């Protein structure tokens, strides 16, 4: 966030994504920056585009931290982000902090790793994943294809 503010990018992002409604896919930290606040390495303000906070995976949950490896994302509802994917698609994770989302209606999937956490969100044209679709083989490629198809549809004025 500090770099985004220092380089004057927050207002540009707000203009392009919030005002001009350009599609956004935030991967890992790219989703976390959308939150109100983060407690990773101190307390930091986020963009505040989703009502959520970034908190550490509790060490007492009996799991190794960081969470590195393959895990299921359990799809909630029928979000466009998961179109054509299994309701329990497997993705690659690498994180020690997670998004605790207060806007339950935008949670596209959850994952359980010691605790249940938000593993992806979809809020209109703003999408985010805690996992890394670019490292997640077929499931990841399908999710990225869903996003590029969504972008194409937006350009044609269909969404």
pLDDT at residue 156, rounded to an integer:
86
pLDDT at residue 158, rounded to an integer:
61
Show pLDDT as tens, one digit a residue, over the chain (159 residues).
889 999 999 999 999 999 999 999 999 999 999 999 999 999 999 999 999 999 999 987 789 999 999 999 999 999 999 999 999 999 999 999 999 999 999 999 999 999 999 999 999 999 999 999 999 999 999 999 999 999 999 888 865
How far is 71 from 143, CA to CA, in rounded Å? 15
pLDDT at residue 154, rounded to an integer:
87
Give the catalytic positions in this structure.
28, 132, 134
Contact (Cβ atoms closer than 8 angstroms) between residue 110 and residue 77: no
Q: Considering the domain boundaries, does residue 78 fall inside one? A: yes
How far is 121 from 140, CA to CA, in rounded Å? 15
**CATH code at position 78:** 3.40.50.880
Q: Where are the alpha helices (DSSP H) in the chain?
A: 2-6, 9-13, 29-32, 137-155
Q: Considering the domain boundaries, does residue 54 fall inside one? A: yes
Q: Considering the domain boundaries, does residue 5 fall inside one? A: no
pLDDT at residue 2, rounded to an integer:
87
Q: Considering the domain boundaries, does residue 34 fall inside one? A: yes
Q: Considering the domain boundaries, does residue 12 fall inside one? A: no
How far is 42 from 65, CA to CA, in rounded Å? 18
Full residue range of the structural domain in which residue 126 is found: 23-155
Q: Considering the domain boundaries, does residue 6 fall inside one? A: no
Q: Considering the domain boundaries, does residue 9 fall inside one? A: no
Number of domains in the chain: 1
How far is 105 from 38, CA to CA, in rounded Å? 21
Contact (Cβ atoms closer than 8 angstroms) between residue 46 and residue 32: yes
Q: Considering the domain boundaries, does residue 87 fall inside one? A: yes
Contact (Cβ atoms closer than 8 angstroms) between residue 110 and residue 8: no
């Amino acid at each position: 966030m500090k770099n985004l503010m220092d380089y004057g990018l927050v207002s540009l992002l707000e203009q392009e994504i919030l005002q001009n409604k350009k599609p956004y896919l935030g991967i890992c930290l790219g989703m976390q920056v959308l939150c109100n606040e983060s407690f990773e390495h101190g307390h930091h303000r986020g963009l505040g585009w989703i009502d959520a906070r970034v908190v550490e995976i509790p060490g007492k949950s009996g799991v190794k931290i960081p969470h590195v490896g393959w895990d299921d994302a359990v799809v909630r509802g029928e979000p466009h982000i998961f179109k054509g994917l299994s309701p329990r698609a497997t993705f690659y994770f690498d994180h020690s902090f997670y998004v605790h989302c207060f806007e339950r209606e935008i949670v596209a999937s959850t994952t359980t790793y010691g605790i249940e956490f938000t593993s992806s969100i979809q809020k209109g044209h703003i999408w985010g994943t805690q996992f890394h679709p670019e490292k997640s083989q077929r499931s990841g490629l399908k999710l990225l294809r869903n996003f590029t198809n969504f972008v194409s549809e937006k350009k044609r004025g269909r969404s």
